[in-house]
Amino acid sequence: MGFQKMPGTQDLLPGQVERWQFVESKAREICRRFNFREIRTPMFESTDLFRRGVGETTDIVEKEMYTFEDRGGRSLTLRPEGTAGVVRAYVENKMYGEPDLTKLYYIGPMFRYERQQAGRYRQFHQFGVEALGSVDPALDAEVIALGYTFYTEVGLRDVRVEINSVGTPEVRAAFRGKLLEFLEPKRSVLCKDCQSRMDRNPLRVLDCKHDQHHFEGAPSILDSLDEASSRHFEKVKQHLSDMDIPYDINSRLVRGLDYYTNTAFEFKAEGIGAIDTIGGGGRYNGLVGEIGGPDQPGVGFGLGIERTVMILEHQQGGEAAKPRIDVYLVALGEAAERETVKQLQLLRQAGLSAERDYQGRKMKAQMKSADRYAARYTAILGDDELAAGQISLKEMDTGEQRMVPLASLASEIKG
Ligand code: HAM
């Protein structure tokens, strides 16, 4: 039966890939405006980096990593997310030594062995940003603003921003105790996931989709914040309001990765079945130190490209606009055919997209091919025109046809 792609992976065919290209080019363009520069890190790293960085008790590390031993006996893992690798590169390349902030972005594949579901893949793609070197709450707000601007400018409607503060590790330790006091009497009625999370990472229990009705009256981490964390959170909210970025406070929002401190946020939208989170991030003041660097703070997000594209399709329908070619060259006769090979090269060098027939088809079939490529022009060359140094140029939208000198074909098309 031949081969098939692995579960949780996708082929992006022409016709689908255009929307991806559009989304990616928007991401790059917006990062340019926000003064974030691209970084490309390896797709695999040492397994220990993710254990340390993402956290031993997270779902990612416990059950979702693609981990293998290479032929040199090293334990490697396909990156399940982008932050740990970026922070590793930041430390390894001593980028913290630069006088300005380090503002980085990346676009690329990530790998998690997850249960398949609409919007959940095993190879998926993130657009992410990381800003390292400042504790200024304006930077948290800037990162959220960048993500919001991205969604708005790719054309997504009704994206919601939810924010929370998860405080410091000390705040969380104290809150964990209070929360467990509230949860313990309910243990037996909670779902299996919640029960296991109560033991491993109680804060995540409040994130559960099924058990929300049991959490009425649960303590809020926002009531447990220390003064500095409270002040930080207030400032982030102020800046968001100043920038007219709408947000909701969700005190139960706890992200699935361990490194967050203070600000945690998610972008949400409807349109992919049960999943409504399309991006998330937050501040991680301890992570750089945790993986062996100096004590430098950071804040960033990761946005799922599959989920962005799925919601765009849901809201806008169908395929993205088909790309057009500039000109289709039709040759009639042997000498003309030889000339089109050369002309094609000249047109392409002049910056035009150009195509011809390679299947020996009749003129009519070639014209149909030009239509399928949505060519703006068709240029028809017969041996007689060739002898006169001319070519017939037809503008496809108007049907207008004229003879132009072969030598100026490219400039005639460029107009
Ligand atoms: P995350 O919440 O694990 O955060 O992932 C961010 C986004 O990646 C999700 O909101 C979702 O859109 C997408 N995503 C995650 N898993 C899948 C999947 N299996 N299939 C499709 N899309 C998925 C992080 O990864 C953090 N590194 C974000 C961050 C950067 N925080 C600070 N800096």
Same domain, 30 and 151: yes
Q: How far is the CA of 81 from the centre of ligand 1 (A)?
A: 7
Same domain, 117 and 252: yes
Same domain, 384 and 268: no
Q: What is the mean pLDDT of residues 83-95?
A: 98
> What CATH number corresponds to the domain at position 252?
3.30.930.10
Same domain, 142 and 30: yes
pLDDT digits (tens, 9 = 90+) for 152-175: 999 999 999 999 999 999 999 999
Among 316, 335, 354, which residue terminates a domain?
316
Distances in Å between the alpha carbon of 31 and those of 129, 315, 332, 341? Answer: 9, 25, 49, 41
Q: Give residue 200's pLDDT.
A: 86
Domain that holds residue 46: 17-167+225-316
Check pLDDT > 80 for residue 319.
no
Q: Give residue 1's pLDDT.
A: 75
Q: Is residue 365 part of a domain?
A: yes
Among 281, 297, 316, which residue terminates a domain?
316
Q: Is residue 187 part of a domain?
A: no
Q: Give residue 208's pLDDT.
A: 85
Same domain, 266 and 245: yes
Query: Given the structure tokens 């996931």, which residue do they identify?
Result: 193
Q: Give residue 383's pLDDT.
A: 93
Three-class secondary structure of residue 31 per DSSP: helix
Q: How far is the CA of 280 from the centre of ligand 1 (A)?
A: 6
Same domain, 294 and 351: no
Same domain, 351 and 229: no
End-to-end CA distance of the chain: 52
Q: How far is the CA of 390 from the centre of ligand 1 (A)?
A: 57
Facing residues of 376 across strands? Answer: none
Q: Whose CA is closest to 128, among 41, 249, 219?
A: 41
Same domain, 305 and 344: no
Ligand 1 atom 12: residue of nearest CA: 304
* Burial readout 250-271 (b: 16 or more C-beta within 10 A, e: otherwise): bbbbbbbbbbbbbbbbbbbbeb
Q: pTM to 2 decimals?
A: 0.94
> What CATH number corresponds to the domain at position 368?
3.40.50.800
Which mutation among 307, 310, 311 tests ligand 1's pocket best, with the greatest number of atoms within 8 A of CB? 307
pLDDT digits (tens, 9 = 90+) for 192-251: 989 988 988 899 898 887 898 999 999 999 999 999 999 999 999 999 999 999 999 999
Same domain, 243 and 345: no
Q: Is residue 9 part of a domain?
A: no
How many structural domains comprise the chain? 2
Ligand 1 atom 17: residue of nearest CA: 120
